[in-house]
Structure 1
Amino acid sequence: MTNGAYGPATAVGAPHGPAALSGLRPSEVRDVRLLDGTLADLVLVDGRISSVRRTEDRTTRSATAPDAVVLDATGWRYVPAASEPHAHLDKALTWARTDPDAGNDLPTAITQWRALVPGIDRADLLDRARAAVGTYVANGITSIRTHVDALLDGDPLRGVDALVALREELAGVIDLQVCLLAGQDTATDVIREGIARGVDVVGGCPHLADDPSYQTRRALDLAEQHGLPVDLHTDEQTDPRSIDLLDLAEQVVARGMQQLVTASHCVRLGSLTSARLAPVLDAVAAAGIGIVTLPITNLYLQGWDVDGVVPRGLPNLRAILDAGIPLAAGADNLRDPFNPVGRADPFETTSLLVTAGHLTVGESLAAVTTGARTVLGLPQVGAEAGCAADFLLVPDVPVADVLAGAEAARVVLHGGRVVADTRVSRSLDLTAGSTATRSLTPSLPTR
């Protein structure tokens, strides 16, 4: 598609100028290209898509109210809004405080983080978390589940209090779920108090405990008692000698649990033979557990101690999908001791799902959009009547280019409201002596 298809470059202007769209609530988004390649008008009412009128089926366009905001999306493509199903906002943006030469594996990262904890107060945590959320939103993420440590120094729940407050502050801008991450050294009374202070999800890390099965049982007990979903860090190692995920699935089935249960990481599944993997996935499917894969962080953390072929640090994603298990994907850590890089960008995750996870373009997009919302228990997104009006508008290029992160321009809607508008003005001179410039960013006229 040529740049000319984007329409006049001067129609709207820079994202931070007077014509930026942030804050608008359009009642219609017209002539946008859907994922299936057709053009359509999206009618938005009360935070949802009320109807989708495909151009090829339209004979006339109904009149709009004089005060209606209509967004002309000619030259733009619709993409469902992404979710970050597994973040650590309490740790985000602390990499600069660490020793870059200390090491790179999971135990070292844990040690480095614990060394930082005494110097982290509520204000510090809130400032970093708020900054990280702003980047997530600008990149097209409208829902986040963040894990937050029960800290081992000072008030163990100061991180919980900060992120619960941030959740309330940003209501209407982003859907934020707070998951208490309790280790084996966290007292049960501390977990109960965290639940009383408003966490949304019960979490833990049984794979790091001396008795993983007990830690799983404790988390499930508390979740059932308080009617909360569960999200456990599970099997975040490449050593396949034990599989905590299987124990989790068996416990869930034995209880007949009704709450959503999520297993995050599940790295060990990538080290199993098909004969060992099949019964594990059968048990997970029977239990209704969703799996979250986190490529960028686990590719970084795993395999440092391996002598020989280094594992990818990912579960067998193809086998998970083939088993009918809900699959979500995220980035996990953001420039902290567990991952020194990352852009808080769903299309960074999709790129890694294709290259390292061997998923198709469509499967990768689903893992950060519809699959992620299934695992998080959120209303579904999609270009269909009744779906949440959470979506991105990106330049109308092939979907594979979008998932590769090739396009910086993104207009992000959450609940039908424009919460971010990023359009980069770029000019090039690739011909000697040329004085012409051309914008490579589409416009979005409104009326």
Structure 2
Amino acid sequence: MLLQNARLSDGSTADVRLDGDRIAEVRPAGASAEAGALDLTGYVLLGAPAEPHAHLDKALTADRVHVQAGDLDSAIEAWHEHRRTLTVEDVARRAEAAARTCLSRGATAVRTHVDVGEGIELRAARALIEVRERLRPLMDIQVVALTYPLAGPAGAENRELLRGALQLGVDVVGGAPHIDADPVGHIRVCLDLAAEFERPVDLHMDEHMRPLSMDLADLARMTAAGLPQPVTASHCVSLGLQSAAVQDRLAGDVARAGLAVISCPATNLHLQARDVRTATPRGITALKALLDAGVTVAGGGDNVQDFFHPLGCGDPLHTAGLLVLGGQLDIPTAYRLVSEGAREAIGLPAAVIAPGRPAELLAVAGGSLQEVVATATEDRFVFRRGRLVERTRVLREDITSPDQGGLDA
């Protein structure tokens, strides 16, 4: 397949030839004409983004219960009560709809956490594995089993459920040490299970505004010797509350341990610091310190219209925009976090437009990277493994000319 006249992120215009699941050639636009080529005039062609942190089991439930307080603890309490009512069929239906939305926005890979625990047991995990297999021809889905507490006698039942989820076929060991009375014990359980089952680890870390509590430091220490399995730390909110010196020191520890970090600006801007009325903190991790230290950093959308964030839309371009606004990153860096960084954080090769690289591509209507991040139009082509898998068109009609005014009522 030949993609003609595509605007690249550096402003140049190119023809890009795909051969199987790889990019075969990138050359200046107009070098030759070819029957059957796809003309991308008016579109910006980018390496496809990924969604590195989602909760598809919770997706599309925002209208079921109103979480009045709006903070993380209230959302967790309401969700744990509601999840008792969920069936495999309900979870699978909503998860597939949300996954297809992510794909239509360009995310050819999604890592989704799924609750296992009292009240939901393994039902949601079964549903997400079912969706993963059904959508395998269209996209890559990784399923992370999430539960807490895990340490000590209080975590005994959840440890068995987590083991059961791994035996069932989930891809990644998950957890949330900051919600456990013994965070270090929680981390140890996750690392031990990851070693036993030879699975990666992806933990919710420090999703709170307590500056004196940073389990990320323990995770970096416990993985400093290196592990065979990749380890990812999601959220890491309290790192952003530290002094510059502490941020730099811990970012260096994270880099040396080989940890990846995923920031989820939409949900954390929504949930965190609701009781702080003056100079409200942003609830976003220390992005610049981590990037300067050489850490693999990604941007995730997190929740899609659920108890934790009613406005999540599954669009990496929206996440990139929030990384610019909330994280004060420049636009190319923000897009890199939702594309190359996101894919690397979940163990996939970066999708960049160069010969020999994976043909995972997103074409968005617009004239520049700045414009497509700003507008986030849904007018897009999505390519996975060299094949067009999604096409969304946007129809705009100018009903009146400037000299006609508006329509009569």
Calculate the TM-score normalised by the size of structure 2. Answer: 0.94
Secondary structure in 1 matching 2:394: coil
Equivalent positions of 1:91-102 (< 5 A) are: 91-101=58-68
Map of 2:152 onto structure 1: none
1:31 aligns with 2:31: no
What is the rounded CA distance, in whole Å, between the counterparts of 2:345 and 2:360 in structure 1? 17
Q: CA RMSD in A?
A: 1.7
Map of 1:179 onto structure 2: 144
Map of 1:110 onto structure 2: 76
What is the rounded CA distance, in whole Å, between the counterparts of 1:291 and 1:265 in structure 2? 7
Map of 1:73 onto structure 2: 40
Shift of residue 434, structure 1, vs aligned partner: 8.0
1:82 aligns with 2:56: no
Q: Percent identity at matched positions?
A: 40
Map of 1:206 onto structure 2: 177
Equivalent positions of 1:20-419 (< 5 A) are: 27-55=1-29, 58=31, 61=32, 69-101=36-68, 103-153=69-119, 156-184=121-149, 185=155, 186-254=157-225, 256-306=226-276, 308-419=278-389
What is the rounded CA distance, in whole Å, between the counterparts of 2:147 and 2:258 in structure 1? 23
Cα deviation 1:196-253 (Å, max 9, x = unaligned):
1111110000011000000001101111111111000000011111210010011011
What is the rounded CA distance, in whole Å, between the counterparts of 1:312 and 1:63 in structure 2? 50
What is the rounded CA distance, in whole Å, between the counterparts of 2:90 and 2:239 in structure 1? 37
What is the rounded CA distance, in whole Å, between the counterparts of 1:42 and 1:145 in structure 2? 28
What is the rounded CA distance, in whole Å, between the counterparts of 2:196 and 2:84 in structure 1? 32
Kindly provide the amino acid, as one letter, of the partner of residue 298 in structure 1: N
Shift of residue 63, structure 1, vs aligned partner: 6.2
Q: Report if the CA contact (8 A) 1:34-1:79 is conserved.
A: yes
What is the rounded CA distance, in whole Å, between the counterparts of 2:378 and 2:306 in structure 1? 24
What is the rounded CA distance, in whole Å, between the counterparts of 1:100 and 1:158 in structure 2? 24
Cα deviation 1:69-98 (Å, max 9, x = unaligned):
421222222011111100000001111111
Q: Report if the CA contact (8 A) 1:381-1:388 is conserved.
A: yes
Kindly provide the amino acid, as one letter, of the partner of residue 77 in structure 1: V
Kindly provide the amino acid, as one letter, of the partner of residue 159 in structure 1: A
Shift of residue 187, structure 1, vs aligned partner: 2.9
- For structure 1, the residue ranges without an aligned partner over 5 or more in a row are 1-26, 436-447
Higher relative contact order (CA 8 A, sep 6+): 1
Shift of residue 138, structure 1, vs aligned partner: 1.1
Kindly provide the amino acid, as one letter, of the partner of residue 41 in structure 2: T
- For structure 2, the residue ranges without an aligned partner over 5 or more in a row are 150-154
Secondary structure in 1 matching 2:24: strand
Cα deviation 1:357-384 (Å, max 9, x = unaligned):
0000010000000010110111220111
1:422 aligns with 2:392: yes
Q: Which moved more, 1:387-396 or 1:144-153?
A: 387-396
Shift of residue 433, structure 1, vs aligned partner: 2.4
Q: Report if the CA contact (8 A) 1:350-1:403 is conserved.
A: yes
Kindly provide the amino acid, as one letter, of the partner of residue 144 in structure 2: C
Secondary structure in 2 matching 1:82: coil
What is the rounded CA distance, in whole Å, between the counterparts of 1:74 and 1:302 in structure 2? 42
What is the rounded CA distance, in whole Å, between the counterparts of 2:401 and 2:295 in structure 1? 49
1:213 to 1:399, Cα distance in 2 relative to 1, 3 A: same
Q: Report if the CA contact (8 A) 1:235-1:268 is conserved.
A: yes
Cα deviation 1:110-150 (Å, max 9, x = unaligned):
00101111110000001110111121111111110000011
Secondary structure in 1 matching 2:301: coil
What is the rounded CA distance, in whole Å, between the counterparts of 1:117 and 1:55 in structure 2? 53
Q: Report if the CA contact (8 A) 2:11-2:368 is conserved.
A: no
Q: Report if the CA contact (8 A) 2:44-2:368 is conserved.
A: no
Secondary structure in 1 matching 2:188: helix
Q: Report if the CA contact (8 A) 2:206-2:216 is conserved.
A: yes
1:55 to 1:209, Cα distance in 2 relative to 1, 3 A: same
Q: Runs ≥4 in structure 1, deviation > 4 angstroms?
A: none
Kindly provide the amino acid, as one letter, of the partner of residue 17 in structure 2: V
What is the rounded CA distance, in whole Å, between the counterparts of 1:187 and 1:118 in structure 2? 15
Cα deviation 1:12-42 (Å, max 9, x = unaligned):
xxxxxxxxxxxxxxx1111211112222221
Secondary structure in 2 matching 1:189: helix
Secondary structure in 2 matching 1:404: helix
Greater C-alpha Rg: 1
Kindly provide the amino acid, as one letter, of the partner of residue 403 in structure 1: V
Q: Report if the CA contact (8 A) 1:172-1:415 is conserved.
A: no
Map of 1:441 onto structure 2: none
Kindly provide the amino acid, as one letter, of the partner of residue 135 in structure 1: T
Calculate the TM-score normalised by the size of structure 1. Answer: 0.86
Kindly provide the amino acid, as one letter, of the partner of residue 240 in structure 2: G
Kindly provide the amino acid, as one letter, of the partner of residue 210 in structure 1: A
Kindly provide the amino acid, as one letter, of the partner of residue 188 in structure 1: R
Q: Report if the CA contact (8 A) 1:117-1:151 is conserved.
A: no
Q: Which moved more, 1:292-301 or 1:69-78?
A: 69-78
Kindly provide the amino acid, as one letter, of the partner of residue 303 in structure 2: N
What is the rounded CA distance, in whole Å, between the counterparts of 1:63 and 1:360 in structure 2? 37
Tell me the number of residue pairs that the alignment of Structure 1 and Structure 2 aligns: 399
What is the rounded CA distance, in whole Å, between the counterparts of 1:309 and 1:396 in structure 2? 36
What is the rounded CA distance, in whole Å, between the counterparts of 2:310 and 2:61 in structure 1? 9
Kindly provide the amino acid, as one letter, of the partner of residue 45 in structure 1: D
